[in-house]
Amino acid sequence: MKAFCIKITLIVFILTVTQKSFAQTASTDARYNRQEVMITMRDGIKLHTVIFTPKSQTGKLPFLMERTPYGVSNEPSPEKQTYIKDMADDGYIFVFQDIRGRYLSEGKYAMMRFSRDKNDPKAIDESSDTNDTIDWLLKNIPDNNGKVGMFGISYDGWTAIIAASDPHPALKAVSEQATPSDMFMNDDLHHNGAFRLSYAFEYAFMEEISKTDSLYQFDNYDTYNWYLKLGPLSNINKKYIHGKLPSWNDFTIHPNYDAYWKKEALTSRLDSPKLAIQHVSGYWDEEDMVGPQDAYQALEKQDRHNQNFIVIGPWIHGGWAGGDGKTLNNLKFDGQATAAYFRKEIQAKWFAWYLKGEGDGKFAEAISFQTGSNQWKNYTAWPPKEAVTKNIYLHANGKLSFDKPSVTEAKPADSYVSDPAKPVPYRARPIEETYGAGSKWYYWLADDQRFADSRPDVLSWQTDTLTEDVTVTGNVLAKLYAATTGTDADWVVKLIDVYPQQYKKEPKMAGYELMISSDVFRGRFRASFTNPAPIVPNKVEEYTINLHAADHVFKKGHRIMVQVQSSWFPIIDRNPQKYIPNIFDAKESDYQSATQKIYHSANFASSIVLPVVQ
């Protein structure tokens, strides 16, 4: 599977798959007419908008709209964009818009803009800008049928679901794809309170240093070295950007889950589905895997009219938008064209029903591509109710088993030294800049984990060779009993499928260690994300870590592995391992080594809680 997110802007660079996949440039044989307009918002600000109408239009058509911070000037004709070609073949009026303050739109940009005060008629936010745009389109674009749908990936998915939270009456269907949800609890900026350093810095710089995307110019090709030499987080402002990035400044003064993060969280802005919503997520999405699942769960609680749906596939961030989806990194899906199937059989048919009334309108509540078995599955609920939780336990001597440790366990714990001066890389080095040419950022969640399991600061446990398939479908949890000699610690847990050492079906997958679920938890937040507290040195504590959704079959002949470590650098900032109220204020002298112990005794039985389907 190749990176398909190349977009030509005022500068030329490879941007993440948050942007659309499309053919290179529009040609004279395009099937759509193109026009560019500036649409005036309620406060007088004008937003740059590109509109495509079919040249052969014979009847009234609905609108399909995408609003983005990534620039729309170079949009080719819709039938030349892989992401939306199937819908373009069906015939729609397509609308692409630069959001406020980005590229050719006027106004001031605010990352993940807060929702407006609806009591103030002049207040604006992304939903008001969407509503004003729809008003203009309905009045000024002829031969429309009065219905609007929205779609988009990542930030564009977020603008879509924000519009759905306060929708214009003409907005009938929204497919939010890889939306971020809660920037402190998961997705782009933090995971369970642990700060996503490299992504947060590089993305904030790209979006806020100018109206058009530009990359930070690192002086190290291997950014692992650059971030290590950076030292304390305070050096970002002190030595490099000097307070020029508003978002970075917000990060530094909001180190805990305070009102700022709660207000920004998507789930605080959602109440019930007011229109048809399709949530789309990828199991190996390196940026926003959790967001669509959170959004689906939040809305499902009040879904009285069966108009809230979820689709999850074997994709990286936006991996369904281009290519055929038959592979993921080194992983193959038995010829199943998962991305092409989504675009034609799921996305196109869903919008055709809700905007045109075409088709039978019968859609599964949850659609998932199950890896291992490599087949599409339909479920009546997500997570599926038929899954039964089973604990798989850590044991002495690197063993992993469904049997709970006994009182005769050989030793109660395993230990390792976590040294902030030598953090475990989150992917094999060199670690190129996130969006730089040749970056392997996009696929790192599907990388072979053998680069890590031989390190002395990474612990591994694995089962014997499986004698039968183990099917895991639903949310995976880690129950970790751990202690540290420090007063703070990060705990990274990975659930891994270990391929057989002899694998004739695909020799390069022999012995491959494929992450199925993983995440990090910052220990200071074990009792409260709002009010963190130091860890008591050498005290055994329980940490419950959400490893999120999986739909995977560990095949007979494979092994199940669990890895635990205390750094994941530089995607996660180095924990000083000495409690500092605000890590952004930590000094170099605060970073210290600590001995970490992971327990697997009868009294402290660390395990992974698996949703197993028989």
**Average pLDDT estimate for 395-400:** 97
pLDDT tens sequence across 47-78: 999 999 999 999 999 999 999 999 999 999 99
Asked if residue 282 and residue 303 are part of one domain, the reply reads yes
Segment 420-430 mean pLDDT:
97
CB of 371 closer than 8 Å to CB of 283: yes
In eight-state DSSP terms, residue 302 is T
Residue at 12 is within a domain: no
What pLDDT shows up at residue 9? 30
**502-526 pLDDT tens trace:** 999 999 999 999 999 999 999 999 9
Chain mean pLDDT for the chain: 94
User: Does 15 fall in a domain?
Assistant: no
**Amino acid making up residue 418:** S
Q: Residue 341 pLDDT > 60, yes or no?
A: yes
**Alpha-carbon separation of residue 318 from 328, 376, 570 (angstroms):** 12, 18, 23
In a domain, 487, yes or no: yes
What CA–CA distance (Å, rounded) separates 148 from 131? 11
Which of 211, 235, 261 is the last residue in one of the domains? 261
Percent over 70 (pLDDT), the chain: 95
Same domain, 533 and 553: yes
Cβ contact 433:216 at 8 Å:
yes
Please, which pLDDT band fits residue 410 given cuts at 50, 70 and 90?
confident
Which CATH number fits the domain that encloses residue 144?
Answer: 3.40.50.1820
Name the pLDDT band for 29 (thresholds 50, 70, 90): confident
SS (H, E, C) 574-598: CCCCCCCCCHHHCCHHHCCCEEEEE
Please check the confidence at residue 397 and state whether its pLDDT lies above 90: yes
Residue 592: domain span: 388-581+588-612
Asked if residue 10 belongs to a domain, the reply is no
Same domain, 328 and 404: no
* pLDDT tens profile 275-285: 999 999 999 99
Residue 284, amino acid = W
Place of tokens 């015939």: 91
354 and 404 share one domain: no
Comparing C-alpha atoms, which of 365, 402, 383 is closest to residue 551? Answer: 383
Domain boundary residue among 261, 283, 302? 261
DSSP H/E element including 461: strand 458-462
Query: Residue 145: inside a domain, yes or no?
Result: yes
Domain count, the chain: 3
Q: How far apart are CA 361 and CA 374, in angstroms?
A: 26
CA pair distance 317, 191, nearest whole angstrom = 17
Residues 406 and 484 in one domain: yes
Mean pLDDT on 389-397? 97
pLDDT (tens digit, 9 = 90+) per residue, 342-370? 999 999 999 999 999 999 999 999 999 99
257 plus 270 within the same structural domain = no
Q: What is the pLDDT of residue 28?
A: 58
Q: Which of 480, 504, 508 is nearest to 492 (CA)?
A: 480
pLDDT recorded at residue 436 = 87
pLDDT digits (tens, 9 = 90+) for 536-590: 999 999 999 999 999 999 999 999 999 999 999 999 999 999 999 999 999 999 9
Q: Does residue 45 belong to any structural domain of this protein?
A: yes
**349, 295: one domain:** yes
What's the pLDDT at 5?
36
Q: What is the mean pLDDT of residues 422-432?
A: 97
Nearest to 148 by CA among 156, 138, 139: 138
Do 208 and 311 fall within a single domain? Answer: no
Which domain CATH number covers 490? 2.60.120.260
Number of neighbouring beta carbons within 10 Å of residue 448: 20
Nearest-5° Cα angle at 196, 190 to 202 = 125
The model carries a pTM of 0.94
Please tell me the distance from the alpha carbon of residue 219 to that of residue 524, in angstroms, as a whole number.
Answer: 33
| Same-domain check for residues 205 and 170 | no
How does residue 8 score in pLDDT terms, banded at 50, 70 and 90?
very low
DSSP secondary-structure letter at 333? -
Integer Cα distance of 485 and 208 in angstroms: 40
Using alpha carbons, select from 393, 569, 563, 366 the residue that is nearest to residue 473.
366
Asked if residue 5 belongs to a domain, the reply is: no
Q: Are residues 452 and 562 in the same domain?
A: yes
Is 286 within the bounds of a domain? yes
99 and 240 part of one domain: no
Same-domain status, 256 and 160: no
Q: Which of 131, 161, 156, 119 is nearest to 266 (CA)?
A: 161
Confidence of residue 409 (pLDDT cuts 50, 70, 90): confident
pLDDT (mean) for 138-160: 98
pLDDT of residue 330: 92
Q: Which of 336, 354, 379 is the last residue of a domain?
A: 379
Sorted by sequence, the CB contacts under 8 Å of residue 71 that are 6+ apart come out as 7, 9, 10, 98, 102, 103, 104, 212, 213
| pLDDT of the residue at 223 | 97
CA distances (Å), origin 288, targets 53, 251, 279, 301, 531? 32, 19, 12, 22, 26
